[in-house]
Amino acid sequence: MRYGSKVLFDDVNATFSAGRRYGLTGPNGAGKSTFMKLLTGELPPQQGNVVRPDKLGVLKQDQFAFDQFRVVDTVIMGNHRLWAALQEREKLYEKTDMSDEDGMRLGELEGIVGEEDGYSAESDAAILLQGLDIPDEFHERPMSELQGGQKVRVLLAQALFGQPRALLLDEPTNHLDLDSIHWLVEFLVHYEGTLIVISHDRHFLNAVTTHTADIDYQTIITYTGGYDDMVMAKTQIRSRIESQTAQREKKIEQLNDFIARFSAGTRSSQVQSRRKEVERLQTNELARSNIQRPYIKFTINRPSGRTVLEAKGISKAYDDLQIISDFNAVVTRGERIVLMGRNGLGKTTLLKALLADSPNLPPAPGDVDAGTVRWGHEVSIGYFSQDHTGQIQKGMTAVEWLHQFDPDAHRQDIHGLLGQMLFTGEEGLKMTDALSGGETARLLFCRIMLQKPNVLVFDEPTNHLDLESINALNIALQKYEGTVFLVTHDQDLIEEVGTRIWRFESTTVTPSAPVVSVGDGRQVEDFKGTYEEYMGVGK
């Protein structure tokens, strides 16, 4: 498959075997989603062919395609044969006078419904929906009444429904909270068919996959093991090839030196044999990997005071729904706080409330109904919001947009910073109107690195990043000497970055840490320790 002069992959031969779970990896732009569309049949290959099973579970990307259908019906549609039989059966039953032919057809349809477990379809669909945190009261509602994250979970249930022989999932953890991700991991680990999954969640890939199909060097190479196993094997293979290439080049250099010295002399037979040896050793240029790794490093201009934040009696409601009530906390310099819990419980609302009176963030991203927030001495904040809409001014180049945050900075320094985040060469002159989601995220990181704040407030920073960028962000946050507030569902980030946990729960859950805030049907546990320590306390 190629687009113009850009080759995504060429002459790829791959077999995905039953009972194996494959992670499809490669950087943004490598062709992962394109390859997935070739497998599903959505795109025809420009050359070659794809053999696929009759029953294929595919995660649909269009959240609005099923808005007129009930939630439970949307799930059942995942079994195309069953859904078609149910629809045709319903039309036959609506007839007032049924012919003998209709009766025979009805018998055939009832047979199909029985074969496809259609009589338990609604209860089977309900079990999937409950596992993905779609409560029973939503099952009969139309899809149009659900929020974006809920729609994604319903489409995930659709892909899983009907026991397909193969599952093809493109970014299934997007918009899922950690509990839903854990449920999905458990489900997929026990799935007996063939799984092919694209994900930017390293922990998820390591937990689920038995093999990794990596798109690189314009081909697909399959490795045994999860993502970390693939990276290690790939690095070892690459190092060995580079070492062998270096040895060959050294040998060729020695032979050419001999040829140059004695080609005009009496040792013509020896020269000729060495020329043949050079031809044998001569290799094509070593193929370049298309993996690009950004270099993220957050530094601080000056440290903040010891007490970074004091929040007293913070409350925030939307209409009659109390999201945050009487929240109290003291945060000291150097803490890395991870806000975690199910979607919709108030993590983003709390972050925005804490930023209501924040320094150097005009305009404030949120407000409070009651209580006080006091940021400490010399605090400067770098904020990465979950919603990037309107964050970057249109009609400018990336260089121009970034330069306005430090007009005294030299242009070469700005270009150097952009280069660290993969805006190399002319890409720094790209118009902000044309930036992709991943490029927008990387440019926002550039701004934060340029400003050098001593407090980072990051709300779902990994949503548009590939694995290499997420790993770079993980390392940068671990090395950062300031204070961090982080909302994320990425378990590696939670485990490796966090030194304090604010866990949002419903009040039905018995807390294992002090409850510092109780809202309308929700509470926040404050645990001063790592996620691993928190899980060991009693979760």
**Beta carbons of 230 and 214 less than 8 angstroms apart:** yes
Q: Which domain holds residue 261?
A: 235-281
Residues 273 and 386 in one domain: no
| pLDDT surpasses 70 at 286 | no
Which of 230, 254, 273 is the endpoint of a domain? 230
Question: 385 with 405, same domain?
Answer: yes
Average pLDDT over residues 28-43: 88
Sequence-distant (≥ 6) Cβ neighbours of residue 237 within 8 angstroms: none
For residue 483, being part of any structural domain is answered with yes
State which of 190, 205, 230 marks the end of a domain. 230
pLDDT reported for residue 284: 54
Which pLDDT band, with edges at 50, 70 and 90, does 512 fall under? Answer: low
Of the candidate ranges 174-183, 204-213, 396-405, the one whose mean pLDDT is the lowest: 174-183
- Residue 532 lies inside a defined structural domain of this protein: yes
What percentage of residues in the chain have a pLDDT greater than 90?
A: 51
Q: 386 and 262 in one domain?
A: no
- Per-residue tokens: 148: 């974006």
Contacts by 3-8, CB closer than 8 A, 24 or more apart? 7/218, 8/34, 8/35, 8/215, 8/218
Q: Which of 220, 159, 231 shows the shortest CA–CA distance to 193? A: 159
pLDDT band of residue 360 (cuts 50, 70, 90) is confident
Q: Which residue has the higher pLDDT, 299 or 467?
A: 299
- 187, 207, 230: which is the final residue of a domain? 230
Please check the confidence at residue 287 and state whether its pLDDT lies above 60. Answer: no
Together in a domain, 210 and 252: no
Q: Looking at the structure, tell me whether residues 362 and 224 fall in a common domain.
A: no
Same domain, 163 and 264: no
Predicted pLDDT at 510? 54
Q: Is pLDDT of 506 > 80? A: no
237-241-246-251 Cα dihedral, nearest 10 degrees: 140
Does 151 lie in the same domain as 165?
yes
Domain presence at residue 103 = yes
Identify residue 133 by its one-letter amino acid code: D
302: in domain: no
State whether 110 and 196 are in the same domain.
yes
The pTM of the full predicted model, rounded to 2 decimals, is 0.75
Mean pLDDT of 66-90: 93
222 shares its domain with 255:
no
Q: Please tell me which of 97-111, 123-137, 444-458, 506-520 the model is most confident about, judged by mean pLDDT.
A: 444-458
Residues 225 and 241 in one domain: no
Domain count, the chain: 3
Residue 173: which pLDDT band, with cuts at 50, 70 and 90?
confident
Q: How confident is the model at residue 338 (pLDDT cuts 50, 70, 90)?
A: very high
In a domain, 291, yes or no: no
Residues 187 and 87 in one domain: yes
Are 144 and 63 in contact by the 8 Å Cβ rule? The answer is: no
d(CA 217, CA 287): 6
Cβ-defined contacts of 59-67 (< 8 Å, 24+): 59/155, 59/156, 59/158, 59/159, 59/168, 59/169, 59/170, 59/171, 59/172, 60/155, 60/158, 60/159, 61/170, 63/148, 63/151, 63/152, 63/155, 64/151, 66/143, 66/154, 66/155, 67/142, 67/143, 67/144
Report pLDDT for 468.
Answer: 86
In a 3-state reduction of DSSP, which class is residue 6? strand
- Alpha-helical (H) ranges within 263-397 are 268-281, 347-354
Distances (CA, A) of 104 to 86, 109, 223: 15, 9, 51
Task: Please indicate, yes or no, if residue 294 is contained in any of the structural domains.
Answer: no
Question: Distance between terminal CA atoms of the chain?
Answer: 48
CATH of the domain at 147: 3.40.50.300
In a domain, 82, yes or no: yes
With respect to residue 12, please indicate whether it lies within any of the assigned structural domains.
yes
* 349 & 268 share domain: no
Residue 206: pLDDT over 70: yes
Angle between helices 437-451 and 411-420 (to 10 degrees): 130
pLDDT band of 162, cuts 50, 70, 90: confident
